[in-house]
Amino acid sequence: MIRRLKTVAALAAAAALTLSACGGSDSGGGAPSAAPTDKVLHLSFLQDPGQPPDPDVFYAGQGLLLTTNVYEGLMQYKGGTEKAEIEPLLATEWTESPDHRVFTFKLREGVTFHDGTPFTAEAVKASFDRRLAVDQGPAYMVADVESITTQGDHAVTITLKAPNAAFLDYLACPYGPRMLSPKGLADNAGDDHAQNYLTTHDLGTGPYTLTAAEVGSRYALAAYPGYWGEKPYFEQVEIPVITDVSAQQLQFNNGQIAAILHDLPSSAVESYLNNDKYAHFSLPTMMSNYLYLNPRRGMLTDPKNRAAVLAAIDVDALVKQTYFGRGKKAEQLYPPNMIAPELAKQNVTHDPSLLTEIAAGLPADQKAVTIGYDSSNPDNQLINNLIQTQLAAAGLNAKVQSYPTSEIYGWIGNDAPNAPDILTGTAWPDAPSPYTWGHISWDADGGLNYLGCSAPPVTSALARGLETGDPQVFSEAAKAAADTGCWLNIADVDDFVVAQPWLAGVEEAHVVTNPNSLRLFELSVA
């Protein structure tokens, strides 16, 4: 399982899109807003996180801002870089056995949990055990742990049941295991391993502690005075839930919000790119916008026809009209910044004549195709409209249809009789290992394999790659996946952030593996 389609709040009416296109009523001239003097940072969620900010439950996109600033793991990925690079966090040093089974960690001293208790090796086992007991989406990252042994208070060895070259990626990624206070877990265990407690409280070690979690309304953080690292500039963070994108932009344009971190539609992106009143950033991620073909529907049951459909799509035109200023045409089947650029290359040449020839010989019912998208994603609505036009020009009768996120996930692992012929969606990996992405997207039991396409050569190559970590093997897996004709990476998508000109540290606070979020302790006033 892994992070699925990126969800954003639905735009209810054309009027909302019109307002966002002009950036709200105050998107023109005027003086920039003044920097706050009270050390309170105002941000917002466009959609409620949808899950409690419990690191063993939370498995979505919006809400990483909470979990990654309140909780810490043994290691993390560096901020301000384009490539994923692991650095120490609660572990200061580590070793890995040549067979990727035994990992030993030296732990940081002088760290306390937000309940005041010290962080020791005991917390590693308690945190891993709790993740397994809760058994939600992120539990797979620790499912293959055979044993955890401590060497005093500040050293621990983790032994796996089988080789796993992706294990360190699991530990460092934004959905990876976080350290929780063993005392706090015991004191608040209840009958659900403290899940109820952690809907409105936290037991982390991070620079911020959770002070409010009012579902659908407001979330808030406060700087933890006992934090072991550099103290944050902002002492409080207010994060209201503003479910209308135009209202969110209006508040930002009026200076009530310091930054919009994600999910701006293309029309709004254009308005901010052309407005010197605000700062804007297009920051590297591991997000891609994918196209999926359904191998169990109509003409697409034939691999030759799937290849012709992919060739008929003018990807250059899609990207130029949708992702200007915050993305580019994808060159690899994997998400960006995951595997060396010479590997896993996509080789789909734009040639609509192939589909035109096939479509001319199809009966009328075989020419009808449905192109689906998540109803909460306005960018994919635009992309699908463009694809509809391109396929129609090649002779297919294409229609565009939206689906709720819950229905899309309901297609996974069954015959999906109501699934469309084609689906588009934006997604990113939990962890930056090529195995993680390949398994959940291309294996039959993968958590992102919405339309049920797979092939034995894909599974075989991924299994070999998990044991060795060899990038060439993962490139072979991508080629086998591409040969099915079921997947096309359309665009590598950046995090587009707009900020007030006084907000400093945005680029340093951004992490390539952590979409839709910033490390808040890096932010300050210019």
Q: How many helices (H) and strands (E) does the chain have?
A: 16, 19
Q: What distance in Å separates the CA atoms of residue 226 and residue 112, rounded to the nearest whole number?
A: 7
pLDDT recorded at residue 31: 61
Q: What integer pLDDT is reported at residue 447 of this predicted model? A: 86
Give me the count of residues in the chain.
526
Q: What is the distance between the alpha carbons of residues 351 and 249, in angstroms, rounded to a whole number?
A: 40
Q: How far apart are CA 143 and CA 137, in angstroms?
A: 11
Measured CA to CA, the distance from residue 519 to residue 496 in angstroms comes to: 16
**Which one, of 42, 70, 53, 67, lies nearest residue 238 by Cα?**
42
Q: Which residues of 443-465 are buried (b: 16+ CB within 10 A; e: fewer)?
A: beebbbbbbbbbbeebbebbeeb
Q: What φ, ψ does residue 386 adopt, rounded to 5°?
A: -70, -40
CA of residue 320 relative to chain centroid, distance: 23
Contact call for residues 428 and 173 (beta carbons, < 8 A): no
Q: Where are the alpha helices (DSSP H) in 14-158?
A: 14-21, 64-70, 121-134
Q: What sections of 289-404 are H helices per DSSP?
A: 303-312, 315-322, 353-360, 378-393
Q: Name residues whose C-beta falls within 8 Å of residue 520's C-beta, 6 or more positions apart in sequence.
A: 41, 65, 69, 207, 208, 221, 232, 234, 237, 509
Structural fold of domain 286-491? Dipeptide-binding Protein; domain 3 (3.10.105)
User: Mean pLDDT per segment of 10 residues, for the chain of length 526 residues?
Assistant: 40 34 39 87 92 93 92 98 96 98 98 98 98 95 97 98 97 97 98 98 98 96 97 98 93 97 89 94 96 96 97 97 92 96 96 97 95 88 96 97 90 87 94 94 91 95 96 97 97 97 98 96 97
Residues of the chain with CATH 3.40.190.10: 40-235+497-523
CATH 3.10.105.10-classified regions of the chain: 286-491
| CA quadruple 259, 264, 267, 270: dihedral, nearest 10 | 50
Residue found under tokens 């040449």 = 349
Q: Which two tokens stand for residue 80?
A: 């301000």
Report pTM: 0.90
Concatenating the DSSP letter of every residue in 422-464 gives EEEEEE--SSS-HHHHHHHHHSTT-TT-TT----HHHHHHHHH
CATH no. of 40-235+497-523: 3.40.190.10
Contact 447, 2 (CB under 8 A): yes
CB-based burial label for 392 (10 Å; 0-12, 13-18, 19+): middle
- Side by side, which strands form the sheet with 155-160? 91-96, 102-107, 155-160, 145-150
Contact, 128 vs 145, CB < 8 A? yes
Rounded to whole angstroms, how far apart are CA atoms 358 and 516?
42
β-strand partners of 159? 102, 147
Backbone angles phi, psi at 106, to 5 degrees: -95, 130
What letter represents residue 362's amino acid?
A: L
219 forms beta bridges with: 213, 239
- Side-chain half-sphere of 518: how many Cα atoms within 13 Å? 30
Distance CA 119, CA 200 (A): 22
With residue 247 as reference, give the H or E element that holds it: helix 245-253
